[in-house]
Amino acid sequence: MSTYSRIIAGCMSWGHWGKEFSTEEMIAQLHLTLEAGITTFDHADIYGDYTTEARFGKAFAQSGVERESIQLISKCGIQYVGNSRENRIKHYDYSKEYIVWSVEKSLSDLQTDYLDLLLLHRPSPLMQPDEISAAVHQLKDDGKILDFGVSNFTPSQTDLINSQTKIAANQIEFSLTQHSAMHNGSLDHMTVNGITPMCWSPLGSVFREQNEASQRIKDTLKELSEKYNASDDQLLLAWILRHPSGIHPVIGTTNKKRIENAVKSTEIQLELEDWFALLVASQGHKVP
């Protein structure tokens, strides 16, 4: 099993759906991220309308970075409506043939022989556990993936796939402003079943939305920032890292200072009442 860095670099914005990094800029970003202490890079085949993995792969091949020093995650299953494929409608495909083809395409694009972790990107109503199991076992037997997991799956959907194929990770949305996974059994389910939680959008809507909740959170962060000598984004990540399930936040920023802040957040141990103070600020009421 691969060991992932506690903070994971999300690469969705590195290409067409964001920064439009040139090969040279992507090489620099790769080194900057590694120098900060992040070794795990999160991809999905659809990022950049199926173009970002190839752009990353070109940069990776020229970067001088050894494959064994990093971990590569990718996701498959979403058939996206864009310029790269002739899909009439966005849908999901989890046939054995499609999963195997998608992984081989990602490997070719990323210019690597294996993925450390393959995730099914989103659950489909038409998922068949035996089809998925056949694909995963073939890919593992061929050495093309080391671990397998899911993304955005509920406990029951996870159990459906886990009945035939061991799930190592589940990447979900989780933050101070979107913490339903703490209450609906999702994180409990992962803990009981030895599934590593990863979370996207870990800063939530605190800086994106101006409302009463975000203002309460900012007021609380202002108080805590002096106590912990930490920035707001560090404290929001530290709040996630305090959860006993061992969540790995996937950060989307490409800003050097924010990346460094994210890594430093792993050194912050929020005191019990401070953790609850942030939760209360988000909810707007005391815990039951």
Q: Pick the catalytic residue: 47, 50, 94, 228?
A: 47
Instruction: Let me know if 80 is a catalytic residue.
Output: no
Greatest Cα-to-Cα distance within the chain, rounded to the nearest angstrom: 55
Residues involved in catalysis: 47
